[in-house]
Amino acid sequence: MNNSTKKLLDQEIKKILPQVTAFRHELHQIPELAGREYKTSAAIRKKLAELDLEILPPFLQTDTIAILNRNKAKNLTLRADIDALPVEEDPSSLPYASTHKGMKHACGHDGHTAMLYGAVCVLSSMRDLVPCSVRFLFQPGEEIACMAKDLVEKGALFDPVPDFVTGLHSWPNTPYGKICTKSGPLMAAAGFFRIRLYGKGGHGSLPHLSRNPLDCASEIMYEAKKIVPEGNVLTFCSCNGGTNNTIIPDEAELMGTVRFLDPAKGKKMLEDFEYIVKNTADKSGIKADFSCPVPYLPVIHKEEDFEKVKNIVEKEMGKDAFHTLESHVMSSEDFSFYLQDHPGIFAHLGSGDSAPLHSSGFDFDDALLETGIRYFCVLALELFTEN
């Protein structure tokens, strides 16, 4: 990037930061769950309507997609997730705290959305210098609903077809303010299991006359730990059954998650897990229903895509702006669906020692907005001019 373009980029980012920050706070006050982001999408569309963009009709009701420079030969697709979580926020904790009871932006998606909006503003003002078309994709339902898959299947990436896709996610316990990612596997596949056990209830003093689903549940949890391959995860997160100290329940339910990077290892673990559930239940005279859909695929990067982004970030944002992660994480991301047929990189935006994601104490750090905006913009300006 030449000096005049770099100077203009600095000026444009500095100019829009106050309004981007204000927009982040506005979004934080109206958190909405996956697929129900009606107020959020309306707020995004209202902001984008002020700019000279092609704004597409929604593919999934609450998505927003805008195109800049449609007629350019190459396309860069920039993605941000917009949904929130069912986490309660103390209304006195922030001047812009959630106004939606039982919902909170506890994963930073308000910040991700604001960063992408900032990139829209900057790149719109510099459109003549942007050598590609840019798709700005504000995606609903990243949490649990895995709606990236639905967007792709509905044709959201069809016209124009991306030549590169990227996204950012604020990430605790990574170097503050740095773009952090790696080649190869970055994030895991995720499945969500539910086991329903149907026994025979009775009096707690006469267990021999009952078929206790809680005993069966405890044995399943114990045995399941033995079949988890190294590098895989199988976690029980919920165990429900019974309401009284003296009544053996008729039913119990177990829920949890599995994570893996190697599909073969994941498939074998699930087969073994289902066998343990059915075999343990059969021995106890209990009927078991087992389900474990795996909607999230692993996020895996090609070496050449990683090197391309690393080189651009270090060149345009400084050597210290990029951090190569040493290992993957077992968290999951539906960004994986954008990478199935298109080059791209998903990166973590280091938030240092912030509160954990999905916790009641998490709040996106406004000081990171500038870094995210700059990342999106330098890729748009440089990705298709690099030799």
Query: Dihedral through CA 316, CA 317, CA 318, CA 322, nearest 10?
Result: -110
Tell me the CA end-to-end span of the chain in Å, nearest whole number.
13
Would you say residue 387 has pLDDT above 60? no
pLDDT tens profile 108-154: 999 999 999 999 999 999 999 999 999 999 999 999 899 999 999 99
Q: What is d(CA 42, CA 348) in angstroms, rounded to the nearest whole number?
A: 27
C-alpha to C-alpha distance for 193 and 266, rounded to whole angstroms: 13
Average pLDDT, the chain: 97
* Cα–Cα distance measured from residue 134 to residue 76, given in angstroms and rounded to the nearest whole number: 5
Residue type, 118: G
pLDDT tens digits, residue range 221-235?
Answer: 999 999 999 999 999
**Cβ(288)–Cβ(278) under 8 Å?**
yes
DSSP-derived letter for residue 107 is S
190-219, pLDDT tens digit by residue?
999 999 999 999 999 999 999 999 999 999
| Tokens 């303010």 belong to residue | 177
Confidence of residue 328 (pLDDT cuts 50, 70, 90): very high
Model confidence at 322: pLDDT above 60: yes
User: Residue 367 is which amino acid?
Assistant: A
pLDDT tens digits, 32-60: 999 999 999 999 999 999 999 999 999 99
Instruction: Tell me the pLDDT band of 386, cut-offs 50, 70 and 90.
Output: low
Residue range 357-361: average pLDDT? 94
Each residue of 236-282: pLDDT tens digit? 999 999 999 999 999 999 999 999 999 999 999 999 999 999 999 99
Sheet with 189-198: list strands edge to edge.
Answer: 233-240, 251-260, 189-198, 287-291
For residue 83, give both structure tokens. Answer: 């949904």
For residue 86, say if its preceding peptide bond is cis, omega within 30 degrees of 0. Answer: no
**pLDDT at residue 290 tops 70:** yes
Beta pairing partners, 137: 65, 79
Chain centroid to Cα 48, Å, comes to 23
Share of the chain above pLDDT 90, in %: 99
Would you say 100 and 30 are in contact if contact means Cβ atoms under 8 Å apart?
Answer: yes
DSSP state letters, 158-216: SSSPPSEEEEEEEETTS-TT-EEE-SEEEE-EEEEEEEEEE-B-EETT-GGGSB-HHHH
| Residue 13 confidence (pLDDT) above 60 | yes
Taking the C-alpha atoms of residue 173 and residue 329, their distance in angstroms, rounded to an integer, is: 12
What's residue 93's pLDDT? 92
- The angle formed by the CA atoms of residues 27, 91 and 99, to the nearest 5 degrees, is 40
Buried b (16+ CB within 10 A) or exposed e, 134-156: bbbbbbbbbbbbbbbbbbbeeeb
The yes-or-no verdict on residue 158 having pLDDT over 90 is yes
Rounded Cα distance, 281 and 287, in Å? 6
Query: Which domains can be identified in the chain, with CATH numbers?
Result: 3-186+298-382 (3.40.630.10), 189-291 (3.30.70.360)
